[in-house]
Every structure is written in C-alpha cells, then in structure tokens.
C-alpha cells in the first residue's frame, strides 16, 4: 500500500513563525521495492479538514518529493496553515491524502506595530541584572477567539509569560545573531492561554550576548547598552476582527529577583525578592517604573520557525564525592551544556552556591583553571520555609561536575539534576558497531555537537570564549549533518556570516563577529586582524555546499551565493600569482608538529591557504552550476583549474615530491585533488611513511585531521585508515576514550599520559573539532555517501569500508526521503571474509552499491552485481536488500 508519510516544512515537522512559505517534502511508504513517485498533488488550507482549499497544485508529473518550493502562495500574517499531499507511483498506486502538517506565519512583511521597550536606562550599561516588564489587557466582550499568536524578540535574553505561565518552551531566546542586521523573533500559539477575565502579558529580560560580558577580551555592550523586549500579540476573533496588544510606553518595569546573570559567569538569584504573581492579574504594579522605548531597526526582525534552544533532556547525577581537598562534588557522568536544577529547603538568606566544571585533576580535585575567567557560578539565596526548586535561565554552563560550595541541609543526590540544553534538531544519524570504544567515540562526537550547538556553533561551551569560530564549524559541518538535521541551524548561522562579512568579502574568524574592533590587546589578533583565515573563512563556501549535498535544498546556495562569491573574490584579490595568503593564518591549528609552545602546526601557511583557495573555488563553481549560473560556473571552474596548476607548480618538485613533508600537506593535496596524476602514488606512499614515522599516529591539527582517514581510504589505504582510527595510545581519538572522555577534547593531550594537563590557557574538554572524524564513520565505515549530482540523497552511493577487525557495523541516516540503513557483518574464514550486508534504500530514491574486494557473491536478492576490477557494482532501487559475499 502506498502512503505519504510525514510532510516536512523547511525540513522540519512543524514550524511556528515563518516569513515565507516553507520548502515542502515528504516520505513515501510502500511495501514494494523500487518505488518511484510519478506525480504528486499538494494542498494548503486554513483549516485542518481542508473544507476551504486555498491552494491546490493539481496533479504535478514529477518525481520530486523534496525541496518543493510553492512560489504562488503569499502568506497572511499570524495565520495557521495546513498542508497535505498525495502521490502516485510507478506501480500505478495512488496514496490517500497524507496526515496534515501545520505551520504558523509570523509578522509577514514586517508588520510590526510594537516598539522595543526597556526596563533599564543607559546608566544600566554595566548592569547584569534581569528586569521584569508587564502589561494588563482585556479581551473583547462576548466574542469567541479563533486563534491568538504572539510574536516576540529581545535585545538580550528574554522569557515571555502570559497569565502566569511561560509562553512556549524555548530557552535563551532570541539566541545570538548579528543583531543589527538579523534579529530573530519567535512566534507562539497562545490561543489556549488567554482568559476572558483579564490578562497579563509579561517578559523577563537579561543581558545575554547582546549587552553582556563576552569574548576572551571580556568586553561588554557589544551590541547595545540597554536590554529590551518587543512583543506583538495578535488575537483573531471568530467575528473576523483582530485585536493587537503591543509593547509600548504603557508597560511597566521592575527589577527581577535575578540580581546578576551573564553567559560566562552564571546567575545570582534572590528568592526573597520574588514578585509573586507579577505576571498575573490582581497584582499591584502601581509602583513599577515606566519603560523606555529603545531604538532598534525593526527591519532586522526575522521569523525563527524552528531550531530554538530548548531543555532537551534531563540527566540524573551519577555520584556524590568528597575530593582529597575536601570539596563536595556531584558528577553527572556526562560533559554537557545546560543547567543544574536543585531542590532545597532552609531559612531565608541561606545559600546554595555551585561551581560548574569539566574535569577533575590528576589528584581527583576540582579543576577550574581551564575555564579561564568564566565563573560558571550559581548563587541562590533562599526565600526560606517551603521547598524551593531552581535552575538558572539567563546563562548556561559547560560541565560534567559541580562543586557544591554551599547548600543548607543534607546534600542528597536526589535533589539535583542536570538539564541539557541545545538547539532543537532531530537526530538523524545512528551508528553502532562491535567495537565499544568506537561506539563511545561516536557518543562523544554526538555530545560534542549537543554541547556546542547552543544557537550558534561554538568552539566550546565552558571557558570565556564560546564563540562561533568559523573553522571549527567548517570542519565539523559534514559530521554534524550526518548526526542531526542541521539545515535550520546552519542556515541561520550562515545568514549571520553573510551579514558580518567585511565589505571586501573577508570572513570573520567568529560569527557572530564580536572580535572586530575588540582585539587591540590580543597578541595575535591585534596585528593579524579578525577575519579571513584559510579553513576558517572557507566556512562561507564549504558549509552551504555541505547543506546542499546533505539536503539538496538550493535555497541555501541562493541565500549565500553573493557571500560565497565575495569570499572567493577576496582570496583572488589577496593572492599573488594565485598563491593565497592574508595577514594572520591559523594554519594547521594546534597540530602536534608545531614548535614547542606554539599553536601553529608545521604545514606552511601558503600551502594550506592555496589548497583551500582551490577547494572553495571548485565548490563555488559547482554551486553556480547547481543554480544554473553558467557564466560563473565556467569562470570559477577555470579559476579553479589555474589555482590547481599553480599549486602543483609551487608545491611539487618536478619529480613529484610535495615540498612540505607533513601529514597535513599530503592529506590536503590528496583530499582536495591537488596532486598531479603522475605523482599520486608517491604522495600516498609518503603520507603512509609519515604515519609510520610516528608509529602510526597522527600529528595533525584542525586542518589535516578531518580528512586523514578519507585521504587514506580513498586511495587504497583502507587498512592504514582503520589502524589510525583505532590507535589507542596518545595521540589518537581512542586515547581520549580510554581516558574516560565523554566529549571530544580540544587537544590530543588535553590530559597527558602522565595525568598532567595541557596548559590551562586553552584546554577545552568539549571541543567538537576533532570529532570531524565522525563523517568517516558514516561516509566510509557505513559507506553512506551523498552524490552531488542528485543531492540530498536522491541517489546514495553505498560503499562500506569493511575492516578494523570489526565483526559488525550498523548505521543509519535519516534523509529527506527516509532512512538509509547499512548493516554489515563479517565472519573470518579460511577462504577470506564472508560478509552479510543488509541495506535499506528509501522510496523514491535509488542507490549504487559498491562492494570492495569482492571475490564471490553467495546470494544477492536477485541483484545483478557487475564485476569492475576487484569490486562489485550494482544499481539498486528503493527497498531492503540482503546480500552475502566473500571478500579478499
Ligand atoms: C578556539 C578554536 C579556534 C581557534 C582559532 C581558539 O581559541 O577555541 O577552536 O578555532 O581559537 O585560532
């Protein structure tokens, strides 16, 4: 039976707040194999039962079931929409209508009547307190409400309340963006929260990223001096009329019990200063102060339909311990980003004080040094009497442990939980295998993502940094997109990247950019500048291209096109004879072949720069092609060719020696296809020699590490790739696993084999960058690879790299079309390896299955496997298949 499974909207299951009609897609269910869609029909309506259809596509002959853009529908503001679809397949079967997907439009066409209001004045510039804002209003008498939506945003971090209850379940809204260009607003359905007897709308606003103390330079007021809130509540009545309640000068303000809240330093909360009932009716606010109207360009307001930060899960503590130095410490067993929630009972004025941190030192004592100046401290002052429950809301911490500096009464684990927060994304990737250390590595990579995808892809979540370092986000983007549905997350961040680019197209080291103009005292950045480093700035091109590969959505390429092009042009202008370089370069950052005490790896900067110049130019020319921009496609394809030639002339000797004898130089040359065909073998051999010289260990940094295993396995050195991945002693991925890591470390030797720590100056234990090896688990080990000619996994290349002594691997990636799954099992026998392979290919897609080192097919579910050299190749339609074969 044919059925349309879920309909997706901008790759999400539902959206609340959109400025334009979302991109549609759906999954198809059928009990046939090789199912292809022949046609589809989509309908859109204002009501769930589709009594009045406002759009009907009619039957569209097309096999497209993802990335459907309906250009003909313009949205009304504050309106609930329903979408459904049905399809006909190549068997002539016709599905029923799908279940409905719904979304709510935002304040389309920027119809804001509200003003930004503040409970602070400019004298509060240095203040980190939270303020309350409130307004009472009445509904129309005797008219039923059809729907009510509130649109809201803030300068700072806000929480919204209606009649005593929090609106929505988002946290840290409106998140962090390039506020002066791109400020996200959230939309909530509050139909059920309104009451006929009288209503109170209120907000709490803290300093957050907007006004607070940020960056390793510890400046503040990057974006402004006063926090503010904007809200527009739209009530649609059944009689066709509308009532609008907006933030304006009729609101009143007061200080909140949050006496202090900063992203790095934590929160101080005095429960004795709670204004009970402040966000309900029957509260006397006559003594509250008037608000100030704050100027902020409302054109910057952009709807955020999904991917907001939320409380995602709750972890119970593992154990309570007393350290050798006598500190009480709670261990949550997992390095994470979020808050501790606790229950406490005591006297008025007694305190709970917590310090959050990541690791214990070699003696088992509290280690705070790597937080640098970030306090990660929570102080709660009790109201007294009844049991009190608290977690902070205007800060977040990166931690596994908390040191309890004060707590009235007996310290019991049952009174503590860790609340994990991050941007809400669907987990799409799953990987398990017969090697438990690898499973733990996968777990650590996933938790590196969770800990650092808190609205912005941060380098780390604990020290006084937590910035959107472009390089980290670039190298991890592909891995992240195998693990989670990252489309909304990265699209938002790339919009900020575009806005924060320099007028010449330079790309900031961090996005949102808070370094420009703030680094006069930084040894590297003062002179070297705050933008345009190879591998970092290339996020401008590589990330949109990666999203296109993974989701097939051309919109991200459209939106980023000028930004991508500007970055290529920037490199071109600053190159000399196509060898690129610009001011400060991070090169192969924190590689182990760096000089003692240096962060800069040994691979020459001009080689790294020019390799990325070539790679980004190639991707940009492909992006131009995908958008049908033929002129640019050819122009940049030619430029790419010239850069490659120049690279080869400059960095290869006439006899084929790569001038820089580092692992990273060889990895980049191979992975970016910069090696002349005649020198390929030599380059691969040298890379393997360079590995051997370090006893099979990598000495690579941010630039070489992500592609190391690929550079080997794509060049016939699968065995060496596996050996590298499975190394257990320092330096290696599994060294950290064996040392008990629960996330990925910033340094291969974050904790050295002798138990001592890398310099506290820069030693994060939750830094996803080296987790970029995750893509090798999915693309190579499971062999689930996208095809740029049919992106978004419309066509998947399944080509597992079996090895590593593993007896089985089970992996799946949930794509636009459904789940692609690969399960291989290996049995060693005298005659070689016997492999059982199960694969699942979603309907309305197809696959090419490649079996490396195929000797004999034992059974293949009627698939006709063609021998191509040592490999078997077969084209496969949708469905599930089981094969058994012998391999050499
Ligand atoms: C960050 C890195 C970042 C680097 C750039 C560090 O402080 O934590 O991950 O990419 O600076 O130099």
For ligand 1, what atom is nearest to the CA of residue 536?
A: 10
Listed residues 423, 441, 466: the one ending a domain: 423
Q: Residues 315, 295: one domain?
A: no
Residue 631 CB coordination number (10 Å): 8
Q: What is the per-residue pLDDT for 217?
A: 86
Per the structure, the complete domain to which residue 811 belongs is given by 784-887
Residue 205 lies in a domain: yes
CATH of residue 564's domain is 1.50.10.10
Ligand 1: centre distance to CA 553 (Å):
30
Q: Residues 204, 274: one domain?
A: yes
Q: Residues 322, 388: one domain?
A: yes
Residue 709 lies in a domain: no
Q: What is the per-residue pLDDT for 47?
A: 95
- 465 CB within 6 A, ligand 1: yes
Listed residues 76, 105, 134: the one ending a domain: 105
Contact 207, 156 (CB under 8 A): yes
> CA gyration radius for the chain?
28
Q: Residues 378, 275: one domain?
A: no
Going by pLDDT thresholds of 50, 70 and 90, the confidence category of residue 72 is confident
Name the residue of 462, 470, 472 whose CB sits within 8 Å of the most ligand 1 atoms, as the mutation to test its pocket.
472
Going by pLDDT thresholds of 50, 70 and 90, the confidence category of residue 426 is very high
Going by pLDDT thresholds of 50, 70 and 90, the confidence category of residue 216 is confident
Task: Say which residue, 832 or 143, is predicted with more confidence.
Answer: 143
Q: How far is CA 89 from CA 475, 520, 842, in A?
A: 39, 63, 14
pLDDT at 831 over 90: no
What digits encode the pLDDT tens for the residues 742-795?
999 999 999 999 989 988 889 999 999 999 999 999 999 999 999 999 999 999
- 770 CB within 6 A, ligand 1: no
Ligand 1: centre distance to CA 501 (Å):
19
Q: Residues 199, 289: one domain?
A: yes
- 528 CB within 6 A, ligand 1: no
For ligand 1, what atom is nearest to the CA of residue 471?
A: 10
Q: Residues 519, 639: one domain?
A: yes
- 471 CB within 6 A, ligand 1: yes
Q: What is the mean pLDDT of residues 315-321?
A: 98
Residue 637, H or E segment: helix 630-651
Reference 402, options 372, 371, 362; nearest CA is: 371
Q: How far is CA 303 from CA 22, 107, 174, 177, in A?
A: 12, 8, 10, 13
Reference 865, options 845, 888, 841, 881; nearest CA is: 881
Give percent above pLDDT 90 in the chain.
95
Name the residue of 461, 469, 764 whose CB sits within 8 Å of the most ligand 1 atoms, as the mutation to test its pocket.
469
Going by pLDDT thresholds of 50, 70 and 90, the confidence category of residue 182 is very high
Residue 453 lies in a domain: no
Residue 400 lies in a domain: yes
Torsion angle (degrees, nearest 10) of CA 457, 461, 464, 469: -20
Going by pLDDT thresholds of 50, 70 and 90, the confidence category of residue 510 is very high
Ligand 1: centre distance to CA 265 (Å):
20
Name the residue of 452, 471, 508 whose CB sits within 8 Å of the most ligand 1 atoms, as the mutation to test its pocket.
471
Please provide the average confidence, as pLDDT, over all residues in the chain: 97
What digits encode the pLDDT tens for the residues 583-633?
999 999 999 999 988 889 999 999 999 999 999 999 999 999 999 999 999
Listed residues 651, 674, 703: the one ending a domain: 651
Here the tokens at position 400 are 């596994």
Q: Residues 270, 321: one domain?
A: no
Reference 500, options 490, 517, 514, 487; nearest CA is: 514
Tell me which residue has its CA closest to atom 4 in ligand 1: 469
Q: What is the mean pLDDT of residues 145-158?
A: 97
Contact 130, 258 (CB under 8 A): yes
Contact 865, 874 (CB under 8 A): yes
Q: Residues 398, 323: one domain?
A: yes
Residue 722 lies in a domain: no
What digits encode the pLDDT tens for the residues 20-69?
999 999 999 999 999 999 999 999 999 999 999 999 999 999 999 999 99
Q: How many domains does the chain have?
A: 5
Residue 131 lies in a domain: yes
What digits encode the pLDDT tens for the residues 553-583?
999 999 999 999 999 999 999 999 999 999 9
Reference 46, options 100, 82, 98, 9; nearest CA is: 82
- 589 CB within 6 A, ligand 1: yes
Q: Residues 273, 174: one domain?
A: yes
**Cα atoms in the Cβ-side hemisphere of radius 13 Å centred on 506:** 18
Tell me which residue has its CA closest to atom 12 in ligand 1: 586
Name the residue of 371, 398, 589 whose CB sits within 8 Å of the most ligand 1 atoms, as the mutation to test its pocket.
589
Tell me which residue has its CA closest to atom 1 in ligand 1: 459
Q: What is the per-residue pLDDT for 846?
A: 98
DSSP string, 71-138: TT-PPPTT-EEEEEEEEEETTS-BPPPPPPEEEEE-SGGG-----EEES--GGGTT----EEEEEEE-
Q: What is the per-residue pLDDT for 521?
A: 86
DSSP string, 383-398: --SS-EEE--SS--EE
Residue 284 lies in a domain: yes
Residue 735 lies in a domain: no
Q: What is the per-residue pLDDT for 828?
A: 87
Q: What is the per-residue pLDDT for 160?
A: 98
pTM for the whole structure: 0.98
Q: What is the per-residue pLDDT for 71?
A: 82
What digits encode the pLDDT tens for the residues 4-25?
999 999 999 999 999 999 999 9
Q: Residues 327, 419: one domain?
A: yes
- 785 CB within 6 A, ligand 1: no
Q: Residues 524, 615: one domain?
A: yes
Q: What is the per-residue pLDDT for 807?
A: 97
pLDDT at 830 over 80: no
Tell me which residue has its CA closest to atom 8 in ligand 1: 459
Q: Residues 492, 629: one domain?
A: yes
The set of catalytic residues is: 465, 746
What digits encode the pLDDT tens for the residues 715-751?
999 999 999 999 999 999 999 999 999 999 999 999 9
Is residue 809 classed as helix, strand or coil in its secondary structure? strand
Tell me which residue has its CA closest to atom 9 in ligand 1: 459
DSSP string, 333-374: EEEEEEEEEEEE---TT-EEEEEEESEE-TTS-EE-GGGTT-
3-state helix, strand and coil shares in percent for the chain, rounded to the nearest 5: 25, 35, 40
């Amino acid at each position: 039976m044919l059925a349309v499974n879920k309909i997706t909207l901008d790759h999400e299951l539902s959206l609340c707040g959109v400025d334009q009609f979302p991109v549609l897609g759906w999954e198809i269910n059928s009990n046939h194999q090789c199912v292809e869609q022949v046609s589809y029909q989509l309908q859109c309506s204002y009501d769930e039962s589709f009594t009045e259809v406002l759009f009907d596509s009619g039957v569209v002959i097309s096999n497209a079931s993802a990335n459907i853009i309906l250009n003909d529908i313009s949205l009304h503001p504050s309106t609930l929409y329903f979408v459904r679809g049905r399809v006909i397949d190549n068997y002539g079967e016709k599905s029923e209508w799908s279940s409905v997907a719904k979304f709510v439009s935002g304040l389309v066409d920027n119809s804001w009547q509200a003003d930004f209001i503040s409970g602070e004045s400019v004298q509060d510039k240095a203040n980190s307190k939270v303020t309350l804002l409130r307004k009472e209003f009445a509904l129309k008498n005797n008219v039923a409400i059809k729907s009510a939506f509130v649109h809201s945003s803030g300068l700072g971090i806000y929480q919204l309340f209606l009649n005593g209850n929090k609106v929505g379940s988002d946290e840290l809204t409106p998140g962090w963006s390039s506020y002066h260009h791109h400020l996200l607003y959230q939309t909530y359905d509050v139909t059920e929260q309104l009451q006929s007897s009288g209503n109170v709308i209120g907000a709490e606003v803290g300093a957050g990223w907007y006004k607070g103390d940020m960056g390793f330079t510890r400046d503040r007021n990057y974006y402004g001096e006063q926090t503010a809130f904007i809200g527009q509540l739209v009530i649609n009545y059944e009689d066709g009329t509308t009532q609008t309640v907006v933030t304006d000068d009729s609101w009143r303000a007061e200080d909140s019990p949050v006496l202090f809240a900063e992203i790095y330093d934590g929160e101080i909360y005095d429960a004795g200063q709670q204004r009970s009932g402040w966000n309900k009716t029957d509260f006397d606010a006559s003594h509250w102060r008037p608000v100030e109207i704050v100027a902020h360009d409302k054109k910057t307001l952009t709807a955020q339909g999904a991917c907001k930060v939320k409380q995602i899960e709750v972890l119970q503590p593992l154990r309570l311990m007393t350290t050798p130095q006598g500190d009480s410490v709670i261990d949550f067993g997992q390095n994470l980003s979020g808050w501790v929630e606790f229950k406490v009972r005591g006297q008025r004025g007694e305190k709970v004080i917590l310090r959050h941190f990541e690791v214990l030192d070699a003696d088992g004592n509290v280690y705070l040094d790597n937080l640098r100046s970030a306090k990660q401290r929570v102080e709660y002052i009790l109201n007294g009497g009844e049991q009190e429950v608290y977690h902070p809301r205007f800060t977040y911490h990166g931690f596994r442990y908390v040191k309890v500096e004060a707590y009235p009464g007996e310290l019991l684990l049952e009174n503590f939980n860790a609340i994990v927060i991050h941007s809400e994304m669907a987990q799409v990737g799953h990987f398990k295998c017969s090697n438990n250390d690898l499973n733990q590595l996968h777990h650590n990579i996933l938790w590196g993502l969770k800990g650092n995808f808190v609205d912005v892809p941060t380098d780390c979540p604990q020290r006084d940094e937590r910035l959107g370092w472009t390089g980290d986000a670039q190298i991890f983007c592909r891995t992240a997109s195998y693990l989670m549905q990252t489309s909304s997350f990265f699209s938002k961040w790339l919009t900020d990247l575009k806005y924060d680019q320099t007028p010449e197209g330079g790309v900031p080291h961090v996005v949102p950019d808070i370094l420009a103009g703030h680094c006069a005292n930084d040894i590297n950045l003062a002179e070297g500048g705050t933008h345009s480093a190879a591998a970092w700035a290339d996020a401008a091109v590589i990330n949109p291209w990666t999203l296109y590969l993974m989701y097939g959505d051309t919109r991200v390429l459209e939106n980023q096109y000028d930004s991508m092009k500007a970055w290529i042009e920037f490199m071109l202008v600053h190159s000399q004879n196509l060898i690129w370089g610009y001011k400060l370069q991070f090169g192969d950052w924190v590689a182990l072949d760096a000089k003692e005490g240096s962060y800069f790896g040994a691979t020459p900067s001009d080689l790294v720069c020019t390799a990325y110049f070539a790679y980004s130019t190639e991707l940009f020319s492909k992006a131009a092609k995908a958008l049908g921009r033929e002129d640019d496609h050819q122009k940049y394809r030619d430029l790419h060719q010239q850069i490659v030639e120049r690279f080869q002339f400059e960095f290869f000797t006439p006899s084929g020696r790569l001038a820089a004898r580092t692992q990273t130089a060889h990895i980049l040359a191979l992975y970016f296809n910069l090696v002349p065909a005649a020198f390929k073998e030599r380059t691969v051999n040298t890379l393997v020699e360079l590995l051997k010289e370090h006893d099979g260990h990598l000495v690579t940094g941010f630039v070489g590490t992500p592609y190391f295993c690929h550079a080997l396995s794509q060049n016939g050195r699968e065995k060496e790739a596996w050996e590298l991945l499975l190394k257990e002693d320092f330096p290696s991925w599994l060294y950290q696993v064996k040392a008990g890591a629960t996330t990925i470390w910033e340094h291969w030797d974050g904790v050295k084999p002798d138990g001592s720590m890398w310099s506290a100056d820069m030693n994060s234990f939750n830094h996803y960058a080296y987790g970029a090896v995750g893509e090798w688990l999915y693309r190579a080990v499971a062999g689930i690879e996208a095809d740029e000619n049919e992106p978004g996994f419309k066509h998947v290349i399944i080509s597992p790299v079996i090895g590593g002594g593993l007896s089985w691997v089970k992996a799946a990636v949930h794509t636009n079309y459904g789940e692609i799954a690969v399960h291989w099992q290996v049995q060693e026998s005298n005659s070689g390896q016997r492999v059982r392979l199960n694969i699942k290919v979603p309907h309305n897609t197809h696959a090419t299955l490649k079996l490396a080192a195929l000797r004999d097919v034992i059974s293949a579910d009627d698939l006709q496997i063609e021998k191509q050299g040592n490999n078997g190749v077969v084209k496969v339609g949708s469905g599930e298949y089981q094969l058994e074969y012998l391999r050499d």
